[in-house]
């Protein structure tokens, strides 16, 4: 089986299990399996897969059908232009969290306070602001999860 056929089959299986970004997820998982960038997958779509890679890809697709996040499957997540290692013991950074953090730096005084504290190495102020931000992010993520659960009945038992 070639790369494109495996991606299409994986995408179809994900779509049947209500994964909205099925094609993208399938491509990302294939790139992870082959230890290549997504561009390579798209440019070498006719290349034949070896049986070990195909089995690993099928395993990853199967895990994704059960709702396991892509970040946990590939073990990394980009956040604020940086790549972080993630696993089941770590909260996955969300794009909306980046917006919250960026907006905090635009708040009158707080952004300047953080930059000033960092430049003066005032760790108590930096730690305090970081703790407030972490608390705010956790609260926002919890509210977002509750909102999703209220809208989607499949998620009601998970929250």
3 state SS for 35-49: CCCHHHHHHCCCCEC
Average pLDDT, the chain: 83
In which band, very low, low, confident or very high, does the pLDDT at 12 lie, cut at 50, 70 and 90?
very high
Q: Is the dihedral of CA 43, 49, 53, 56 positive or negative?
A: positive
User: Helix, strand, coil % (nearest 5) of the chain?
Assistant: 65, 5, 25
Enter the CATH code of domain 3-74.
1.10.8.10
Range in 77-86, 94-103, 105-114 the model is least confident about: 105-114
Q: What is the pLDDT of residue 107?
A: 66
Positions of CATH 1.10.8.10 in the chain: 3-74
Residue 82 pLDDT > 50: yes
pLDDT (tens digit per residue) in 38-70: 899 989 999 999 999 999 999 999 999 998 999
Which tokens is 16 given? 């049947």
Question: Which pLDDT does position 36 carry in this prediction?
Answer: 93
Q: What are the contacts of 70-73 at 24+ separation with CB within 8 A?
A: 70/25, 70/28, 70/29, 73/29, 73/32
The neighbour count for residue 139, using CB atoms within 10 Å, is 10
CB under 8 Å to 53, separation ≥6 — which residues?
A: 33, 34
Confidence check: pLDDT of 96 > 90: no
Query: What is the per-residue pLDDT for 78?
Result: 83
Distance CA 54, CA 60 (A): 10
pLDDT band at 159 (very low <50, low <70, confident <90, very high): very low
Q: Give yes or no for residue 127 having a pLDDT over 80.
A: no
Taking residues 133-152, what's their average pLDDT? 78
């Amino acid at each position: 089986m070639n790369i494109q056929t495996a991606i299409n089959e994986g995408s179809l299986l994900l779509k049947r299990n209500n994964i909205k970004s099925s094609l993208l997820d399938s491509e990302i998982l294939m790139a992870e399996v082959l230890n290549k960038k997504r561009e390579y997958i798209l440019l070498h779509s006719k290349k034949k897969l070896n049986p070990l890679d195909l089995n690993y890809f099928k395993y990853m697709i199967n895990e994704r059908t059960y709702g396991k996040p892509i970040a946990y499957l590939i073990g990394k997540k980009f956040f604020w232009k940086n790549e972080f290692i993630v696993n089941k013991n770590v909260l996955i950074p969300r794009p909306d969290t980046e917006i919250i953090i960026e907006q905090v730096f635009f708040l009158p005084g707080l952004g300047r306070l953080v930059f000033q504290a960092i430049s003066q190495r005032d760790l108590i102020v930096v730690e305090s602001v970081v703790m407030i931000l972490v608390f705010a992010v956790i609260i926002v993520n919890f509210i977002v999860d509750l909102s999703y659960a209220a809208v989607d009945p499949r998620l009601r038992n998970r929250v």
